[in-house]
A and B are shown apart, each in its own frame.
Chain A
Amino acid sequence: MHIMEGFLPAGHALAWTLVSAPFVVVGARRLRRVVAERPEARLQLAAAGGFTFVLSALKLPSVTGSCSHPTGTSLGAMMFGPPVMAVMGTMVLLFQALLLAHGGLTTLGANVFSMAVAGPWVAWAVWRAADRLGLPMAVGIFLSALLGDLATYGVTSAQLALAFPDAVSGFGGAFVKFAGIFAVTQAPLAVAEGLVTVVVMNALAARGQHPMVGVKA
């Protein structure tokens, strides 16, 4: 759920940039360390970054008929671990703004927080928890992708509600309003992404390939 360029007031745009910055800086440090230890990792990371971008250009069959696409949030979190996902996600969001005019430069901080920080951490935590509880792998993957998506969309609704509180009912009312409108597209999208992620993992497992290259957080 991208927030478009210029949609947030200047103060909010700046504040979200400051909130996201530490996550991206920590992720960048880790990425530099990974690249220093294994120079060949830069090509793998680039391939995975390109892959995440392409995911957002793929249309998901949608119930409401609106334009929706997989976010790749949980797949990315499972592949790189959340810290590296923060910096790769930032890069992909920047490319989406510059090449598709989807999202923006001033709203990059807010989008990074919802899609490259909150979503991946939730997806990763759910995935680990499902593993600990001994749930079947498909269920864990489905829940991870579903809840990662819903977390992203909940954070975006909260960001918009903070910026535009309802005149009568304040933050709560505005949150219900934004979440309600986006639920029409985002709830089916989250379920679809969960199902697609399970198909992806099953197909990869059937080929004997394991995509999880760096699951340490």
Chain B
Amino acid sequence: MTLAIDRLAQASPWRTRALGEKAALALGLLVLALVLPPWPGAALVLAVAWGTALIGARIGLADWLRLNAAPLGFVLTGAATLAVELGPDGLGLAADHGIRALAVVLRASAATSCLLLLAVTTPTPDLIQGLRRLGLPAEIAEVALLTWRFLFLLLDAAAAIRGAQESRLGWSNWRRGLHSLGLLIALLLPRAMDSARRLEIGLAARSFDGTLRMLSPARPVSAVWLGLVATAEAALAGVSLWLS
């Protein structure tokens, strides 16, 4: 079983680009989305993030739209709450006619696009190694890497159990569904622990000393790229402050 974001990140044309370059671009835009006024700041960030993802990092349009749609659903539910007001005579449209709700939707969708831009161009282990270089303790980084490995194994196991339950009508109504889910979780937890124990015995037999060394090719950060990104982001901030 694969997760869409991980599959895209592993196959991304920007996979081999230095992490520093991608982080400067995506996280820089993310900060701008948050601190600039939503109109026109977040709208400009949204446009730049979409353009970079679709044209620069060559993510397929259908994939990109699908990835953006799910978080947008949650954002819209939350924003709907901002568009209404609790007055003395019950619920009504907010006095600002939903301007604040619109601003939040704009900011959140711009920020989500920036997060996705980083996530679909950089596999998670690369990010963990980046955090390690920034001072994340080695033990935490290792547990994080192992967790990342385990979650795919367990997703596979969960999908197989769920398939077997469904083919025996285990999810035919709410009550059975609840019971089946409980059994699934109860089966998954010992399986996870079992495979952890087997992995540990295997590693101990190979003189595991607690460090997992991985080959990571040196990818120097291009100063020209960083300069371009900084200039573009400064220009974006300038334009949006001038327009607002």
Contact = CB atoms under 8 A, between A and B. Distances in A.
Interface of B: 3, 5-6, 27, 30, 33-35, 42, 67, 70-71, 74-75, 77-78, 80-82, 84-87, 94-96, 100, 104, 107-112, 114-116, 118-119, 124, 127, 137, 139-140, 142-144, 146-151, 153-155, 158, 162, 171, 174, 177-179, 181-190, 192-193, 195-197, 199-200, 203-204, 208, 210
B78 A168 contact: no
Interface in A196-212: 196-204, 207, 209, 211
Interface majority SS (helix, strand, loop, mixed), chain B: helix
Nearest to A201: B186
Contacts of A202: 182, 186
Interface string A45-58: 11111110111011
A173 B50 CA distance: 36
Interface string A2-39: 11111101100100000000000000100110011001
14 contacts: A4-B74, A5-B71, A7-B75, A32-B139, A32-B140, A35-B210, A39-B210, A44-B196, A61-B174, A98-B119, A101-B71, A104-B115, A200-B186, A204-B190
A196 B143 contact: no
Q: Which among A46, A75, A167, A169 has the highest number of chain B CB atoms within 10 Å?
A: A46
Nearest to A160: B78
Contacts of A160: 78, 81
A177 B94 CA distance: 12
Contacts of A167: 85, 94-96
A4 B112 contact: yes
B189 to A, nearest CB: 6
B107 A99 contact: no
A60 interface: yes
A5 B33 CA distance: 10
Q: Which among B75, B188, B195, B196 has the highest number of chain A CB atoms within 10 Å?
A: B196
